[in-house]
Structures are given as C-alpha cells and as structure tokens.
Chains A and B, each alone.
Chain A
Amino acid sequence: KNQVEQSPQSLIILEGKNCTLQCNYTVSPFSNLRWYKQDTGRGPVSLTIMTFSENTKSNGRYTATLDADTKQSSLHITASQLSDSASYICVVSAPGGSYIPTFGRGTSLIVHP
C-alpha cells in the first residue's frame, strides 16, 4: 500500500531559527514529490515539486531535498518567519496515468516571536 509518513507531527520554533521537516514514502513506482504549505483555513499552496532525477529544489527560504533511493525527502526552512506558521504537506505521485496522489498527514509548524 502506498504511504507517505511525515515527521514530526508538530514543531514549535523561535522566529529566525531554521528547521527541517521529514517525509518518508513507500509509493512505487515514483513520479514526483511535492511539498505544500497550508495556512489555517486555506487551501494548500505548492512550494516545490521534484522528479526522481532531482536531488534538491529551492523556493526562497524553502529548500526541498529528495533521495529516491531511500525514499526520503526533507523540507528545510531557513530563517523562519511568523508567516511560516502553517501545515506542511508532502505529496507523492506515481507515473503512468495514476491520477490519485498519496498525501502525508502534514507537519504543523508554529513560529513564535
């Protein structure tokens, strides 16, 4: 069964600090992995998307890494800001016309001043 596990479930950090969120998946075969940011009461917004051939991708202060061999991904947030407080969701898709991506439950990040 395809699964996406995220850790930690929740995280609290001080403003300005860095943090790293983890995503492990069992989806096989693998097409691409996406990280979304979901603010409370809003729809998820895409941060990064990576195919199996990509190891890292950045979007401003967000940097995602992918190890397709170990089926692990991480999202690193640099110099956190209060606006980074949100849920971060890892999503993995299989190739070949599979229309149903597999979602992780998300990591809830709270940034305190």
Chain B
Amino acid sequence: DTEVTQTPKHLVMGMTNKKSLKCEQHMGHRAMYWYKQKAKKPPELMFVYSYEKLSINESVPSRFSPECPNSSLLNLHLHALQPEDSALYLCASSLGVPGEKLFFGSGTQLSVL
C-alpha cells in the first residue's frame, strides 16, 4: 500500500463551524506533513510531525490545530476559519528522515463561506 488517504475530498464550512481533516497512511512512514495550496501557487508547509512529535509549525494561526494520534494518522482541526483560508489542504508522508521522498494524498478542497 503506497497511498496516503485524505478525507473528506471536499468540505464547505461556515466561519463559526468546527471541522476536522483526516489523513492516513500504512507505509510505516514516521514523518507526516500538512501543506496548504492556493490556486496556481506551490504548496506551503504548515506542520510537520516526526515520530509523532510536532517538529515544525510554520507560524500557522491557532485556528488550525494539528494532531497526530499515532504513526499512521494525522488530523487537522479547523475552527473559526476565514474565507481566505479556502484552499486545497494536502497531507504528505515520508520515511522519517528529512529529505526523503514525499508521498502526497489527493487533498481536501476546503471552502469557507
């Protein structure tokens, strides 16, 4: 299994809602990532978990809250988002050591109304 699975594929939420994005991999990878991608732009790194510990938080607003319950799962909890947070949210994983090949999920297309 060489897949990174993200759910849901599409999400529409109001600014007062709370929702969660989920990501799962069964490749034994120990590094997992959240990226945000706006249309026609490259992905921007948000968070990195390495061996279930938060290694990188790229000064992301607190309305985004990551969680890594175990080595196979990564969640992104969303609360009180703004319309400018509408984007494609991508999860990725790699073996564990920095600089390894990244495997991406197909993403969650988020719209904030």
Whether A and B are associated in the same complex: the answer reads no
Q: Which residues of B contact A (CB under 8 A)?
A: none
